[in-house]
Amino acid sequence: MTFNEQGIQAFKEKRYEDAAQFFTQAIEEAPEEAIGYVNFGNLLATLNDTERAERFFQKAITIDEKAATAYYGLANLYYNAERYIEAAKLYQKSIEHGIEGADAYYMLGKSFERDEKYKLALPYLQRAAELAPNDLQIRLAYGILLCTMEMFEQAKAELQFVIDEDWNNADAHYNLGVLYAVSTDKTEDAMYHLKQAFTLQPEFDQAKYIYDMISQRLN
């Protein structure tokens, strides 16, 4: 096994000191390769040492401007720091340079959504849902965004899919309940899903509030 492979194994096993040692050896062995810096950056990010993590990701990009995972790691740091537009640019870079899977599309969409650029977010969350059709977090996020954009029929299908796959998903019940309340005259359906939300998650005050508001309106 290479030093990077040993470091990744140690990282997975939460042997962080060992991982740091292996990644240091990987960098010393091949200082002109970006991967060691990316791996060390990911380790530091996990340990919440964000300033050093940022430097390692930036070093990786300096060495290899096509290092997709370096852009992705740096984007995650900025997203967590609520620097959403900077994060979005870096997620785009990671996609341009061939990062695989749905996560980068999902995070790019979430970055635009957090910055209230909903139209920009939509195609990326849609693409993430296409790439990972069984990922309920992605499908829920896509459904919520569709609700925000008042694309209710499509939103209903996404939220219902999540509920069919995970009946105990309080967020999906809540959002489907709100959808019924604001876009249909199916008051009973709205109340049913809102009640499911705060039954599954008793601290879901917003679901209880809307449920009570609809109840009072009926009386």
User: Is 159 a member of any domain?
Assistant: yes
What does the block give as tokens for 101? 């899977």
Find out whether 121 and 137 touch, Cβ atoms under 8 Å: no
What are the distances in angstroms from CA 98 to CA 70, 73, 94, 161? 12, 14, 6, 29
User: Is 197 a member of any domain?
Assistant: yes
User: Is 79 a member of any domain?
Assistant: no
12 burial type by CB count under 10 A (0-12 exposed, 13-18 middle, 19+ buried):
exposed
Query: pLDDT value at position 111?
Result: 98
User: Is 2 a member of any domain?
Assistant: no
CATH number for the domain that contains residue 146: 1.25.40.10
The total number of structural domains that make up the chain = 1
pLDDT, tens digit (0-9, with 9 covering 90-100), for 160-185: 999 999 999 999 999 999 999 999 99
pTM for the structure as a whole:
0.92
Query: pLDDT value at position 217?
Result: 84
User: Is 170 a member of any domain?
Assistant: yes
Question: DSSP string of 74-124?
Answer: HHHHHHHTT-HHHHHHHHHHHHHTT--SSHHHHHHHHHHHHTT-HHHHHHH
The whole domain housing 181 covers 135-219
User: Is 172 a member of any domain?
Assistant: yes
What parts of the chain have a pLDDT lower than 70?
Answer: 219
